Structure 1
């Protein structure tokens, strides 16, 4: 990317649609704008195999908003990267929807393969944490991705249809507390899906560090912070410990979906999905023998951005995440510090003998 260049990354996820604008300069980058809509395009997909009419209309209306924003902001085709993930990828009527969406949006929309989606999650985690050896976990509304990392390089990866929307609709009640039988059936399903992943469950599975990305992971981290009395100033680096997660699962399961937002830290927009998400995280922790999951605020959108920002590198990884983060912060703070320095210098010169 050239200094001062902007790029809009649009993530058409199974649960939510997001538009994020990034800008980059010499040794710095930042988000400048973000639009979030809880479209829930994957609603009903697990039962029918197709995108339903109501979610399609919500999606098209949101794309109208995104299209108007991009035009008003001077972001054309070369500056916009729109991607679709699990729900749209797997739907039987995906091509019909995409034809309407591309016509409405006016720009190309890429449908990510499972492997590419996992790769972008990996790039986001590696470029926003100090992970050297371990695993990256990405949980969305339609699917879950895992990547095994060694020496900061991706060695193995996989994608499973275990997203929060799918698991909620298939196993958990839309109203009322979750019954023990329902929880046990979901846990059994998750364990069965993960049992054959030798690079996760085997004795040679490597490092025990696990980094999680995605909106549900961030929301669980916020709830874990509140549950343990930690100050809430973002969730970057927050570790969701197994014991804390187990207690959250018990508390969430005892409540109907409509009341789960009363649990401190849980967002109303995710209240009906948070229990399924917590159970998926719980299953991964158990399968891999992890004591907890570290959270990063970066997501798939940052992975796409870093691929463009670091296009001259293969793979597109920051050489030193700590150093790059400090330089990025310093670049943002420099304009605010210049007037103070000038005042100090001016004050010194103006004093008499």
Structure 2
């Protein structure tokens, strides 16, 4: 048996007729940038999440950048985040000249440990960026309470968690700003790069709308230093189709995760933990194993692809050497990075495939 990690082709075939028709509508109109399908998607995203404002953009990375630009994060500022995440979380902080300040993760959820945040707050701290890793939000109530106490902003990196919930609310409505990614392999993915920014603050929303079109207030009049951060119309129209079926896809992801957990219980693995007041979007089904390289090789020989999200914490990356961190500074992140392994995860994994994978672990 040969297993597809994400089954993107399966999903396309499922919705092919609608997607192809929607794309051809855009092609016939030839309105490729900021066509009406973009505003239609933003309205649908607002309805889906409950956020007052959804602003689409060119990628999940640009969503983070727009969020920080809207909050005037600048050189000399400090932003607290996790070292166990994709580089974009901290890369965008550094890109603006601010300093990423890392806090170790919770050993169960792999998200930032809120109990360690306050010790890292200084007079330069401007914001906290929790990451909803593998699809599960961090403890947003604790983080929000800390932010309120110290007058800090909260930006959620929800690149992997669109549709997840914390205390029965989507993580798109927590924090001052929440972001997500529509990269093809994400739970809700387009056919290229794409992202979105969510906020209930109208002033922030209007600023982000301006920032994504080079800071324009009107054509060729620029209020801010901005960027070219628009979502193209073809990606928007694809997402319009897929969003209609997203609740069903999320439910299928939950089913696949439950079947994995049942099939793998009792094995010499650490299985994913999801807090009781949280639902995960299950971007990944990640287990911890000893002798990861050997296990990955064995699974590969049996036609089972795996991935490692992520093999090296950010504080040990060469590009962040200037921050002065060293091995041992964030021990939980380091241990998890050596043991974590993601199994094939998508809404279309069959019972036979789950059994096949489980029997070889």
TM-score normalised by structure 2 residue count: 0.29
| Greater length-normalized contact order (CA 8 Å, ≥ 6 residues apart) | 2
TM-score normalised by structure 1 residue count: 0.29
